[in-house]
Amino acid sequence: MTTLRNFSRFVTDTLRMVTTGGPVYYAWVAFLLLLIAFGANAYIGQIHNGLLVTNMRDQVSWGFYIGNFTFLVGVAAAAIMLVIPAYIYDWEPIKEITILGEMLAISALVMCLGFVMVDIGRPDRFWHIMPLVGRLNWPQSMLAWDVLVLNAYLVLNYFVVTYLLYCAYTERHYVKKLVTPLVLLSIPMAVSIHTCTAYLYNGLASRPFWNSAILAPRFLASAFCSGPAILLILLQILRKTTKLSIKDEAIFKIAELMAYTMGFNLFLTAAESFKELYSGTEHMVYFQYLLFGLKGHNTLVPYAWASIIFGAIAFILFLVPKTRTNWVTLNIGCVLIYASVYIEKGMGLIIPGLTPDALGEIYVYTPSVTEISVAAGIFALGFLVFTLMLKAAVPMMLGEFTISRGRKGAQPAKSEGHA
C-alpha cells in the first residue's frame, strides 16, 4: 500500500516537475511543441493525399523516413556503450551517467517507432502487426522480429529508468539483484535491436548493396560512435546547466572508446568498398552510384565523401590524446561523427540499396518538403521526450528532489500546465 501511495506521489511529483520551470525551459518546450505541430500538420496532409506527397516511388520505395529510423536504432543501441564499461568493468565514473544513456535510448526508440508509423501506407491497420491481436509473421519476417525486439528494448529501458529514479525519489538504494541482471540483459538486447535492423536489409538477396555479411557488424560499429557522440555533448551541457557532476575522466574515456569503434567502422567500410570495387562484378553499381555517381547521376556523391572524410577526421581527433582532451577539438569530433554516421546509416544506406532498382532503372530520390517536415516533427517529439525525462530525472539523481526533500519547495510553486 505504501509503495502504491509513494508511486502515485512519484508520478504526480514528476508531472508537476516537468510542467514547471524557468523561462528558458518554457521557451525550449514551446519551440519543440511548435515543431511537433508543424510536423503533425505535414503528416495530416500525407494521410489525406497518401504517400504520393513524398518523393518515394516504386523504384525507391523507402527513403528519408526509413533512413532516419535506421540511424536512430543505432542511437538507441548506443546506450550499452556506457553500460558495458560501467557494469562489466565496474568503472565508477561512468556508472552514474548510464541512466542518461538509457533515457537517450528511450527517446531514440520513440522516434524510431514514429518514423516507422509515418512510413506505412495504412496506419489505420497498425493493429495487424500486433502479436496475438493481429497476425505477426514471426519467425519468417525480419520486420516482425524487429517489432518485437524494439518494443522489448523500449519497455526494458523504460522500466530500469523508472525504477532507478523511483528508488532515488524514495531515498532507497536500488535492489542490486534486480537492476544488475536487467542492465546486463540490456547489453544483448541493444546488440539485438541493431542486428535485427541490419538483418532486415541484409536478408534481401534482391538488393546486393545490403546483402553483405558485414552489414550487421558495420551497423554496430557505427552505432557505437554516433550514440556516444550525442551523449558527450549532452553531458557537457548538463554539467554547465545543472549540479550534476560528470568527471572529465568519464568523458575522455568514452571519447577513447569512440576512437576505436570509429576506426573499426572505417575499416569495415573500406573492406566492403574494396570487395565490391576491386572484384568489379555487376554488384558494383550500387557502390558506384554512392561514391562516384552512375550515368551522370551523382546526387549522393558529395554526401558519401563527406561522411567518409568526417569519419576519418573524427577518428584522428579522438585517437590523439591531446585533441581528445581538448574541449574544442573533442566537440568538433562529436559533430563530425554525428554527421558522418547520419549520412552513412541514413540515406547512404537506404538509397544506394534501392538505386539502381531491381530492373536497373535509376530513379533519383531526394526527400520532399513533406518528408522533411514530418521528420522535423518526429525529431522534436524525441527531443521533447528526452527533455521532460531529464527535467525530472536530474534533480532526483542529485538527491535534490525526493519524497522528503524538495517537495515542499515544489508545492507552492505555480503549477500551471504549460506542457
Contacting residues toward other proteins, per CB under 8 A: 44, 47-52, 54, 56-59, 61-62, 116, 119-126, 128-129, 133-137, 140-144, 147, 200-201, 203-207, 282, 285, 353-354, 356-361
Give whichever of 128 and 172 is closer to other proteins, judged by the CB atom. 128
Element (H, E) at 151: helix 142-169
Maximum separation of any 2 CA atoms in the chain, in Å = 72
Give whichever of 114 and 311 is closer to other proteins, judged by the CB atom. 114
Helix/strand/coil percent split, the chain, to 5 = 75, 0, 25
The dihedrals phi and psi of 134, each to the nearest 5 degrees, come to -95, -140
CB of 239 to other proteins, least distance (A): 42
CB of 52 to other proteins, least distance (A): 3
CB of 201 to other proteins, least distance (A): 8
CB of 17 to other proteins, least distance (A): 31
CB count in 10 Å sphere of residue 357: 16
The 10 Å CB-count burial string (b at 16+, else e) for 110-130 is bbbbbbbebbeeeeeeeeebe
Transcribe 279-318 into DSSP letters: H--TTHHHHHHHHT-BTTB-SSHHHHHHHHHHHHHHHHHH
Kindly give, in sequence order, each residue whose CB lies less than 8 Å from that of residue 129, ignoring residues fewer than 6 positions away: 136, 144, 147
Give whichever of 119 and 344 is closer to other proteins, judged by the CB atom. 119
Give whichever of 20 and 373 is closer to other proteins, judged by the CB atom. 373
Contacts 24+ apart (CB under 8 A), 177-186: 180/87, 182/156, 183/83, 183/87, 183/98, 184/87, 185/156, 186/79, 186/80, 186/83, 186/102, 186/153, 186/156, 186/157, 186/160
CB of 386 to other proteins, least distance (A): 26
Give whichever of 56 and 106 is closer to other proteins, judged by the CB atom. 56
CB of 51 to other proteins, least distance (A): 5
CB 169 within 8 A of CB 13: yes
Give whichever of 141 and 325 is closer to other proteins, judged by the CB atom. 141
CA-atom Rg of the chain in angstroms: 22
Peptide bond just before 123 cis, omega within 30 deg? no
Give whichever of 219 and 383 is closer to other proteins, judged by the CB atom. 219
> Which of 223, 344, 370 is closest to 287 using CA atoms?
344
CB of 115 to other proteins, least distance (A): 12
CB count in 10 Å sphere of residue 329: 18
CB 214 within 8 A of CB 272: yes
CB of 384 to other proteins, least distance (A): 22
Give whichever of 59 and 323 is closer to other proteins, judged by the CB atom. 59
Question: Tell me, what amino acid is at 125?
Answer: R
CB of 37 to other proteins, least distance (A): 17
Cell of 404: 522528503
Give whichever of 356 and 406 is closer to other proteins, judged by the CB atom. 356
